[in-house]
Amino acid sequence: MPKYTLLYVEDELRIRNMVVEYLQEHFSVIYEASDGEEALAIYYDKQPDIIITDIQMPKMNGLEFA
């Protein structure tokens, strides 16, 4: 079964850490971002297969990022 790369975007560190820990066994690489601007930069640089994003975040919200 192929493993995919993931970009997980969440501004709350505690939540981000818990979710990433849970998802680690399902993805070959997980990129993390704390806001939409950081996520956009990672997206352009790394081109992840899947993106999971929070909606309410500072700088650029999840809808603007999407």
Q: What is the pLDDT of residues 2-37, one digit of tens each?
A: 689 999 999 999 999 999 999 998 998 999 999 999
CA angle 16, 66, 17 (to 5 degrees): 5
Does the pLDDT at position 60 exceed 70? yes
Number of domains in the chain: 1
Domain that holds residue 43: 4-65
With CA atoms as reference, report the closest residue to 36 among 15, 8, 57. Answer: 57
Q: Report the CATH number that the domain containing residue 21 is assigned in CATH.
A: 3.40.50.2300
User: What's the farthest any 2 CA atoms get from each other in the chain?
Assistant: 37
pTM > 0.85: yes or no: yes
Residue indicated by tokens 């505690």:
14
Give the pLDDT band of residue 59 (cuts 50, 70, 90).
Answer: confident
Single-letter amino acid, residue 17: N
